[in-house]
Amino acid sequence: MPLPKLPSKPATLLLAKDYPKASGANPVPFPTEEKAAPAPKKAAPKTAAKAVKEPAVVAKKAAAKKTPALKSVKLPDDVPAPPRTKAAPQARSKVTPIKADAPHPAKHKAHEVVLKSAISRKADVLGNTKLFVLDTNVLMHDPSSLFRFEEHDVFLPMMTLEELDNHKKGMTEVARNARQVSRTLDALISNTDDDDMETGIPLNKLGNKDAKGHLFFQTKVQVADLPEGLPQGKADNQILAVVRSLEAEQPGRAVVLVSKDINMRIKARALGLPAEDYFNDHVLEDTDLLYSGIVQLPDDFWNKHGKDMESWQENKHGQSSTFYRVTGPFIPSLLVNQFVFLEPNNGESPFYAQVKQINGKTAVLQTLRDYSHNKNSVWGVTARNREQNFALNLLMNPECDFITLLGQAGTGKTLLALAAGLAQVLETKLYNEIIVTRVTVPVGEDIGFLPGTEEEKMGPWMGAFDDNLEVLNKSDGEGGEWGRAATQDLIRSRIKIKSLNFMRGRTFVNKFLIIDEAQNLTPKQMKTLVTRAGPGTKILCLGNIAQIDTPYLTEGSSGLTYVVDRFKGWAHSGHVTLARGERSRLADHASDVL
């Protein structure tokens, strides 16, 4: 069903300098051609006190790693000219070069710096182990936090155990975490002598080899002098008294309070007690460093990588693509399924490609299909900018099982996902149906219970999909009112709205699963959803990490940030950060100035 191309409009472009450029300063080993494996995971902060790493130290360690160079590939005689010529494959006919001084669609947030307490920094310098006193909210936030402090010891005040007991009832996530912590503590203290309670219980008793410290319980009344104005019966104040008492008992040791409660940490620092946040759940300390899925090649890329280049053509999934095998110093900084582009300013045709294989300093690049052309439209939708073209190449690739799309409001995440889903469900019949789900977190006050079935209850939360379906259901008028109604009924029959509350234990086979507003999911919830995928299922995660409505979730600890960082470099996943708004000039201007 051909549909007219959506009207174009003026919009701001992403700065060319805002894209990361390939650099050989941080070579990372990647999977070989025979076996593609996930990219190395970014090391999470090992302890609450080790959350900050000096950039100079990280750069020095990265530069110390070396990747062995491979043999240069001999260029056959019948290979066509490199793609920097005007006859580059899959090149657009008219492309406006990006200017470095073009406006940016969104302002960058200030760099977030996490500071340790002075006592903690001094212990790091001396190499001494620390004693971390855990607040209750840390255990209820991450039930496995007991084993995240490596060689350091953990102390649990009696009031922490009391609060765990008060929160164990119910079906909420907090209650489940409290019960899990209680079961873990029961397993740790089983078959333990009374002397072990005083000397400390080894945390590696249950098989956690990384936890080399000991667990201590409060076995006696801790007496400490606090300001007279503080209520003595409040739980937070009793925990603060325990920290001060431990400092007095162990004067030569760093005793640090770990709490997710901001006011608790402020109160502790006001009393002169070291307090820190729990950072182990943070994937990134600065979300500006989040993997974007796109990298701009340097201007001299073909001069340094064009020697001994091989090229060939293959026909995959009904379309012909050109492949290039290049070798050079910038290749180790790339990732599998990452998009690369080169847009010369001298009038030459641009080059758009995707990294398919990496082996040391040799990579295989595959040219892309131009979805900005009407003949390649997806359910009547064409790409309006470079990032949307990259996203459609991922969405229409049957070998890509997991896709994440990030972007501010109006960048086309939902529209592209629905168009690709309808095209592969109704036209190519690659999938049986589209399943749409999202987190039901209200922006303002809750309006109460909703009547009806599961799908009817989810209806008010799916307004964004209804709006996009109206755009996709537009016809050229040949079918008339009856044709539009029949098409709408057909589409509705292939789209199912499901709630996240009933996903546990399900298995989706040959489904096109769209998870909207994924930034409101925790890493644990995201794992629950992604592991529902059966054979032939594609999962899409859409979201904007700048619009998190879930309490206690930040941009660095969101489930969407978690999966983007963990799945990068896997041969069957892809990620694109959409950076150009296409909704309207009003929406783009509001995103910039508000």
CB–CB of 416/405 below 8 Å? yes
Burial of 129 (0-12, 13-18, 19+ CB in 10 A): middle
In a domain, 171, yes or no: yes
Q: Are residues 395 and 362 in the same domain?
A: no
The CATH number of the domain where 301 resides is what? 2.40.30
Domain boundary among 339, 367, 395: 367
In a domain, 130, yes or no: yes
Q: Are residues 248 and 152 in the same domain?
A: yes
In a domain, 510, yes or no: yes
Q: Which two tokens stand for residue 267?
A: 């109160």
Q: Of 347, 384, 387, 350, which is closest to residue 367 (Cα–Cα)?
A: 350
Which strand ranges, in their side-by-side order, compose the sheet holding 495-497?
495-497, 433-438, 511-516, 538-543, 402-407, 573-578
CB–CB of 518/560 below 8 Å? yes
Cα 369 from Cα 320, distance rounded (Å): 9
In a domain, 167, yes or no: yes
Each residue's pLDDT, cut to its tens digit, for the chain (594 residues) gives 444 444 444 344 455 555 555 544 444 443 333 344 444 444 444 443 333 344 444 344 444 444 344 344 444 444 444 554 433 334 333 333 433 333 333 333 444 445 577 777 788 788 888 899 999 988 888 888 888 888 899 999 999 999 999 988 887 778 888 899 999 999 998 888 777 788 888 888 888 888 888 999 988 887 777 777 778 778 888 899 899 999 888 888 889 999 988 899 999 989 889 998 887 766 555 556 788 899 999 888 888 888 889 999 988 777 888 999 999 989 999 999 999 999 888 778 889 999 999 998 899 999 999 998 888 889 888 998 899 999 999 999 999 999 999 988 778 888 899 899 999 998 899 999 998 887 765 544 455 556 666 566 666 655 666 666 676 666 445 556 666 666 667 777 788 877 776 677 788 899 999 998 888 888 888 888 899 899 999 999 999 888 887 776 778 888 899 899 999 999 999 999 998 777 778 877 887 787
The number of domains in the chain is 3
Domain containing 163: what range?
118-277
Q: Are residues 573 and 431 in the same domain?
A: yes
Q: Are residues 205 and 342 in the same domain?
A: no
Q: Are residues 129 and 197 in the same domain?
A: yes
Cα 132 from Cα 372, distance rounded (Å): 56
The CATH number of the domain where 226 resides is what? 3.40.50.1010
311: left (phi over 0), alpha (psi -120 to 50) or beta: beta
Q: Are residues 269 and 300 in the same domain?
A: no
Q: Are residues 272 and 298 in the same domain?
A: no
Q: Are residues 585 and 482 in the same domain?
A: yes
In a domain, 93, yes or no: no
Domain boundary among 333, 367, 401: 367
Model pTM score: 0.63
Q: Are residues 548 and 434 in the same domain?
A: yes
Q: Of 578, 570, 577, which is closest to residue 400 (Cα–Cα)?
A: 570
Strands (E), 60-202: 130-134, 153-156, 201-202
Q: Are residues 132 and 237 in the same domain?
A: yes
In a domain, 24, yes or no: no
Q: Are residues 143 and 220 in the same domain?
A: yes
The distance in angstroms from the start CA to the end CA of the chain is: 39
In a domain, 246, yes or no: yes
Cα 410 from Cα 580, distance rounded (Å): 8
Domain boundary among 306, 334, 367: 367
CB–CB of 27/332 below 8 Å? yes
In a domain, 236, yes or no: yes
The CATH number of the domain where 499 resides is what? 3.40.50.300
Q: Are residues 143 and 240 in the same domain?
A: yes
